[in-house]
């Protein structure tokens, strides 16, 4: 049974990653046919970095991803502390409401936000409300629950007596928060920020409904590329994006593992004492 499970796991990973492997190989192919590898070349990456329009779109995506992840992390951490202070049914009710945006289909969220922005634009008598700010608000909205999802477990794992000890030693509530709570939940905060960044960087569905012609992100523009024969430099772009997101996810898992290991050592020391 163990061998069967191992084979199934290997097949699942092959199924998940073989498209990206093919895409990566195609990005080094001198030909335009994915099925025929002519010779190794880096010219596709050179063409990519010489394309100013694509680089500008990538810059737009990075701006939105960085700003939305930072804002969502700040407010998500504050919200997590507030939810953690609740008790009983109130906490469960708020957590259920927080989880709904993550389970809600992206297309429903995108259409809902687009209607909201359209209504706001009509109420303010604005001709074109969709643009940078609507895109940023939308990305903060769907990133917010992911930050809470990462921070809340760290708050629940934290020893509440640490805060009480800090208060007994003369710390103000704010100083106890900055000196104790933030230190304890920092791995969750960083994990939430990285997840928010990756979710924002490659989002298409929600961005498609809330973006305007004045500010377009890379995933939205790539959708237009799929309507015609794809240029090989797009393979290079996809490969670089996948590598960056993969690196961030590995970093997030390493931070989580390091935090769990540190918690285990601290617990072991307390038991020995």
Do residues 217 and 135 make contact, with C-beta atoms less than 8 angstroms apart? yes
Angle in degrees, CA 182, 259, 166, rounded to 5: 35
Flag whether 18 is in a domain.
Answer: no
User: Domain of 72?
Assistant: 52-272
- Residue 242 Cα distances to 19, 66, 201, angstroms: 11, 17, 11
Q: Flag whether 231 is in a domain.
A: yes
User: How many folded domains does the chain comprise?
Assistant: 1
- The answer to the question of residue 62 being in a domain is yes
Tokens of 243: 């590598």
Are 83 and 94 a contacting pair, CB within 8 Å?
yes
- In this structure, is residue 38 part of a structural domain? no
Report yes or no: 64 and 204 within 8 Å, Cβ to Cβ: no
Quick check: is 142 in a domain?
A: yes
Kind and range of the H or E run holding 227: none
Tens-level pLDDT at each residue, the chain (273 residues)? 677 788 888 888 888 888 888 888 888 888 777 777 888 888 888 888 888 888 898 899 999 999 999 999 999 999 998 998 888 788 888 888 888 888 888 899 999 999 999 898 888 887 788 889 999 999 999 999 999 999 998 888 887 788 878 887 788 888 888 888 888 888 889 889 988 998 998 888 999 999 888 888 988 888 877 777 777 888 888 888 888 878 877 877 777 777 677 666 766 665 555
> pTM of this prediction?
0.82
Structure tokens at 272: 């020995």
CATH number of the domain at 110, please.
1.10.3720.10
Helix axes 232-272, 43-50, angle to 10 degrees: 90
Q: Distance of CA 20 to CAs 11, 24, 27, 201, Å?
A: 15, 6, 10, 17
């Amino acid at each position: 049974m163990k061998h069967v499970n191992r084979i199934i796991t290997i097949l699942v990973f092959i199924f998940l990653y073989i498209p990206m492997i093919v895409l990566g190989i195609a990005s080094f192919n001198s030909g335009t046919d994915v099925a025929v590898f002519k010779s190794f070349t880096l010219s596709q990456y050179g063409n990519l970095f010489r394309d100013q329009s694509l680089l500008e779109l990538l810059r737009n995506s990075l701006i939105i991803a960085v700003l939305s992840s930072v804002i969502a992390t700040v407010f998500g951490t504050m919200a997590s502390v507030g939810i953690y202070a609740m008790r009983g049914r109130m906490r469960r009710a708020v957590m259920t409401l927080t989880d709904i945006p993550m389970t809600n289909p992206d297309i429903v969220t995108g259409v809902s936000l687009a209607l909201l922005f359209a209504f706001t634009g009509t109420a303010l008598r604005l001709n074109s409300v969709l643009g940078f700010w609507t895109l940023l608000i939308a990305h903060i909205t769907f990133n917010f629950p992911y930050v809470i999802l990462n921070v809340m477990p760290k708050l629940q794992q934290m020893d509440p007596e640490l805060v009480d000890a800090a208060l007994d030693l003369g710390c103000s509530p704010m100083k106890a928060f900055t000196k104790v709570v933030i230190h304890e939940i920092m791995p969750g905060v960083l994990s939430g920020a990285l997840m928010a960044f990756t979710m924002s960087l490659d989002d298409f569905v929600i961005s498609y409904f809330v973006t305007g012609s004045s500010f377009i992100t890379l995933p939205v523009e790539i959708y237009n590329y799929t309507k015609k024969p794809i240029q090989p430099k797009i393979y290079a772009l996809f490969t670089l994006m996948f590598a960056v997101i993969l690196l961030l996810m590995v970093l997030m898992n390493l931070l989580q593992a390091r935090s769990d290991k540190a918690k285990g050592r601290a617990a072991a020391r307390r038991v020995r004492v």
